[in-house]
Structures are given as structure tokens and as C-alpha cells.
A and B are shown apart, each in its own frame.
Chain A
Amino acid sequence: MGYESFRTFNKYDPNGDVVKQRFWVKAQGVSWSDIWNVRKDFGGDVFTGDYVHTVEAQYWNASPMATCSIWGLVQIPSLMPNFTTIPYLIAAGLDAHAVEFLHFLGTDLLSLRELDGGTVYQDNNTTDISSDTVYYLEMERDEDVGTYGALYCRIYSDEERTTLVDTLSLALHEKRDFEGVMALAAHDTSEYPDYYYSVQIDNLDLGLPTGNLITSLPTLSGEVAVVKTVDGSLNCSSPTLTGEAEREGGREADGSLSTSPAELSGTIKLTRDASGNLSTLRPTLSGSVGITGVSSPVGSLSTPLSTITSSVTVGWEVTGSLRTPQPTIQGTVSIEHTVSGSLTAARPTINASQLGDDTGMFWQVRRLRKLQYMRRLSNGTIARWARRRKR
């Protein structure tokens, strides 16, 4: 398990009051009437059955009245709209589990909530809590308790969660799977635009897998995919892979994706942020190896194959390196965007006739020259080939 990266969350913040970093989100001086949120649609019933989530939260500078959500699982009929907040969910008759800070005329509350078709069931703390204090929360659903399960919010005063301040609990009224996370959100009301507050959450852990997935099957004909946050590595050492090995779905990968099949006829791709390595270690790849996402891989893409019949593509900014030390490249090697690392082709033969788009390759090399990577390439075959083409 590991902390969620808020970089993969959507932010709705028309007034520019919400700051979102990798492991924390802060809403500074927001009005009680503002609508804002930091949310993520996990694209499927990810939160089913029992779960344990943790987050750290604090608020400060609250006016006489203010409230906001500091954790929430949300039912999403289609897409999570920009205006997703507890009042919206209540009005729309939707379901949710949530924890809210409430400040009401000198009373401070942490409120555990179940929204069931718009009806709000809640349990509030009896031990005093205060502003400017970090609380370490642990939310748990245990479906073995009662008819529909029990929802807990354990409030701790220390990071290791060894000192309990209070325990909130609700007997749930429905078994419901959730796909959306409302990490931090306004609880807006148009009545009091002049009431302000600030709130911050840190280190949200949704209990999603972050370890290693190892498949060492002799034959894998389906897909190997990690569709949630990965901090570890994905390792496929099967001799035959006919499907796809990929990481996608807007999750950040901190580990490495390693495929060592003897034959890969599908694709290997990293479609979002990757700070680890993508490496393929076997001699034949008839598909493509690509980093094609919308974000910035900071690791390396390494393909030490003896034969690549298709393409090796880095489709976005890379701060690591792309290495293709194969003896034969029959496809294309291309970097389509800014690269701050190096492109190395360490083998003597490039079958240019099969590159497909000479102009494209030439253009790529010019871009590389412009980016002052020619020094690195000057000893390489690609550079010599490029100079010949230019003449």
C-alpha cells in the first residue's frame, strides 16, 4: 500500500485557492460559498467490500461557520462533475461515504457520514478537537458487522496511529461499491460567502496495491495490466506473451515494468507518469515498445532485443534515457518530444530501408541536433546516417 499521488487527481478550482502537490492538497482561504474539489474517478467499482483508508487532515482560520469534506468515496452515475460536493450528492440522491470537518459557532466536529439516496446518517466526535491540529484518520468498512456492514472513522493524534482520540461509527444502510474518490471538497452554501476557512490533507492511502506483480507463467495469452497505483515493479517472465503488458489508467508508476518474454506479439506501453524503467529483455519483439502517455517519464526505456520489427517510441518528455543496443532495428526509433536524457543506438546495423518514413527520421534527428544531443550521437550510426541523408 502507498500514498496516492494527487497529480493523478482532477482539480476543480475556479478561484485558484487550491494547491495540489504529489502527496498533499491545500485549500487556503476558501469561502463557504465556493465550489471546489480534488477528485478522481477510478473507472470501475474499485472500492468494494472491506477497505481501510488513511489520511492526515487539519483546518485553520475558520469563520463562525464552515464545513468541508476531507475524505469521501462517491457513487458516480457517469462522470464525476466539476461541482461534486456533499450538497450536490445529497440533492442528486446519490450514495457516498465521507468524513467532514464542521465548525459551527465555536463547536468543532469531525463527522463520519453515510449518504444513502441523499439521506445523511452521521456520527460525530465527543472528544474535543481543535483547529491548527493534524489528525490522523483511519476509515474502515467492515462488511461482516451488521446487515450491511459498519463504517468506522478512528481519529488518532499521532502519525503511527497509536493514540486514539475518538472512534466514530455508523451501521450502514446499504452495500454499495464506489468508483470515485472525493479527496478534498467544499461543502458549499450560497448563504455565507463571507465566511472563510483553510484546510489541508496529506498522505492519502486508499489501500491499493503498490507491491510487485510477478507472472512467471510459461504462456500468457491475455493482458498483464496494472491499473492502479504501483510503487513496486511489474515483472513478466513468461516465455510467450501474446497480449499486452501495460500500465495505464492515469495511475502513477514509481517502479519498473519488466517483460522478458521470448516473444512478444502485443505491445508494451507506459501511458502515464512513470519514474521507473521499462525494459524488455528477450530477442524478438514484433509489437511496439512505447512511452506514449501525456506525462513525463523520468526513468529509462531499454530494449536490448536482437530484433525489433516494429517501433520503439517515446511520445513525450523524457528525463531518462532511451537505449536500443540491438544488432538490428527494422522498425523505427523515435523521440517525438523534448528529451533531456540520451538516445543511444549501440549496434552497428540499422536497416534504414525499413524505417518507413525517412523524412520523419530526418526531422527527428534535426530536432535532436537542435536540442544539442548531437554530441552524444556523433559517434553513433544514427548520426552518420543522418548526415548522409542531409547531403
Chain B
Amino acid sequence: MKYPVAINTNEQRLAYCFACQKRLLVAFNLVGTWYREGAISLESYMQLPADWRQTPPFDNPTHVLTLEDFKFFKRTVFKKLETKLIVELHNQKKINAQVNAHANWVNKPKDLENDIKKVPKNKRFGLLLAAQDQVKEYTEEEQLHFSALLGQTKKDLLEEAKTLESDINLDALFEE
């Protein structure tokens, strides 16, 4: 996947992948609205990836999408782009987990919340990814706490990339 020049650390790449996923979600929902309401504005239409706009019946913004059209969209053009993105996202998750695999402080779940505050916000999610294999040793409350922390740190990471989200060009991500 192509990253903007400013995106060059592992944490930034992972955050950028999450932002791209959100951008894809927005594009999906534009097509969903097109199907539900029977029409799409030209402005919304132009926000769709070029690949989608070149694929019949989505090549015609005045076309009234049927249920079959929408199902076709989900299993073809949307699925194709989503899969490319997920492969990269999972790759970046793996890299972020691997670089934090040495962290042993996560063995102490009671101190988890305090310990994690000692590292920069954008590094926390990777640390927790690396700690997942220790969760089975936790109590139920600690496991729940861990899940809540994992969710929050993922949100924090996404927040870091939020300013980039509107500039993401889904067409350019996987250009040769």
C-alpha cells in the first residue's frame, strides 16, 4: 500500500490503515444510501473509488440500484478493495505486535492502566496487541479491563490519523 510521505513509523502506518478503513466505510455507506433512496448526488458519486464508478451498473449515477445490484456491489468491487486493505491492516498489526513483543510489564494486569500511561499514546495499541497471549491468565474482570483498554487505545490511534482521513484517496492506495 502507498503511504503519504509523512507516514513513516509503524504506529503511523497502522493508524493510517485504520483511517483508510473508515474512509472505505464512508464510501460503502454512500452506495448504501444510493440503494435505499434510489438516487445519489453527483458530489457523493464522485467520492466513490474510480474502480467502482467504472463497473456496471455503478458506472451510471442515474441508475436506480436494485437489491441484486447492492449484493453484487458487496461481493465484488467493495470486497476487492476491502480485502486489499485488510491484508495491509493485518500486516501492520503484526509488525506493531512484533516490535513490542519484548515488553514484559504487561504481565501485571492490575497495573496495566497505570503502566500504559507511561508510553506515548500512539504506541499503546501495539503494546496491548503484543500482550494478547497473556490475557488468558487474567481474571474475568482483568480480561474485561484489557478489552476496554484495547478498544480505547485503538480509538486513540485512529484519532491520530483522523486529520488525514478526508485526504485519503482510495484509488491511489494500491496503484501500481
A→B interface (CB under 8 Å)? 65, 67, 87, 90, 102, 104-105, 107, 109, 111, 118-126, 142, 144-146, 150, 152, 158, 160, 162-164, 166-167, 169-171, 187-189, 191-192
Q: Is B49 on the interface with A (CB-CB < 8 A)? A: no
Check: B14 CB closer than 8 A to any chain A CB. no
Q: Is B83 an interface residue (CB 8 A)?
A: yes
A110 to B: closest C-beta gap in Å:
9
Please indicate the chain B residues that have their CB under 8 angstroms from the CB of A167 in the complex. Answer: 21, 25, 82
* Shortest Cβ distance from residue B78 to the other chain A in the assembled complex, whole angstroms: 10
- Given contacts A162-B29, A164-B29, A167-B25, list 14 more A-B pairs with CB under 8 A: A65-B141, A65-B144, A90-B136, A102-B144, A105-B148, A121-B132, A122-B147, A124-B147, A126-B18, A150-B87, A160-B67, A167-B21, A167-B82, A191-B140
- 9 A-B pairs closest in CB distance: A189-B140, A162-B32, A124-B151, A171-B90, A104-B148, A107-B148, A126-B155, A164-B25, A119-B133
Contact with A163, one of B18, B29, B145 (Cβ below 8 angstroms): B29
- A164 partner residues in chain B, CB cutoff 8 A: 25, 28-29, 32
CB within 8 Å for A102 and B147 given contacts A162-B35, A171-B90, A171-B93: yes
Q: How far is the CA of A162 from the CA of B65 in the complex (A)?
A: 12
Instruction: Say yes or no for B89: interface residue by CB 8 A criterion.
Output: yes
Range for the number of chain B residues in contact with chain A: 35 or more
* A109/B90 contact (C-beta < 8 A), A122-B132, A160-B36, A191-B139 known: no
Chain A residues lying within 8 Å of B135, measured Cβ to Cβ, are 119-120
A236 to B152: give the CA distance in the assembly, Å: 57
How many A-B contacts if CB must be within 8 Å? 94
Instruction: Assess the A162–B70 pair: CB atoms within 8 A.
Output: yes
8 Å CB contact of A169 from B32, B90, B147, B151: B90
Cross-chain contact A150 with B90 (CB below 8 angstroms) = yes
| Contacts A67-B144, A121-B132; A126 near B151 (Cβ below 8 A) | yes
Q: How far is the CA of A111 from the CA of B28 in the complex (A)?
A: 22
Q: Which residues of A lie under 8 Å from residue B144 when comparing CB positions? A: 65, 67, 102, 104
29 contacts between A and B (CB under 8 A): A65-B144, A90-B136, A102-B147, A105-B148, A109-B151, A111-B151, A120-B136, A120-B143, A122-B132, A123-B154, A124-B150, A126-B158, A142-B83, A144-B83, A145-B87, A146-B87, A160-B67, A162-B29, A162-B33, A162-B36, A162-B70, A163-B29, A164-B29, A167-B25, A169-B89, A171-B90, A187-B140, A188-B140, A189-B141
User: What's the Cα separation between A121 and B133 when bound, in Å?
Assistant: 8
Contacts of A145 in B (CB 8 A): 83, 86-87, 90
Cβ of B29 and Cβ of A119 under 8 Å apart?
Answer: no
Q: CB distance A146 to B90 under 8 Å? A: yes
| A36, chain B: closest CB distance, angstroms | 16
Of A124, A144, A150, A189, chain B has the most CB atoms within 10 Å of the CB of: A124
Q: Which residues of B contact A104 (CB under 8 A)?
A: 144-145, 147-148
User: Do A171 and B94 contact each other (CB < 8 Å), given the known contacts A145-B87, A163-B32?
Assistant: yes
Which residue of chain B has its CB nearest to the CB of A120?
B135
B136's contact among A118, A124, A146, A162, by CB below 8 Å, is which?
A: A118
Residues of A within 8 Å of B36, CB to CB, are 158, 160, 162
Contact between chains at A122 and B150 (CB < 8 Å): yes
**CB under 8 Å from chain A, chain B span 29-44:** 29, 32-33, 35-36
Residues of B within 8 A of A102 (CB): 144, 147-148
Q: Mark B82-107, 1 if CB is under 8 A from A, else 0.
A: 11001101100110000000000000
What is the CA–CA distance of A118 and B138 in the complex, to the nearest angstrom? 12
Report the nearest A residue to B27, measured CB to CB: A164
CB distance from B168 to the nearest CB of A (A): 16
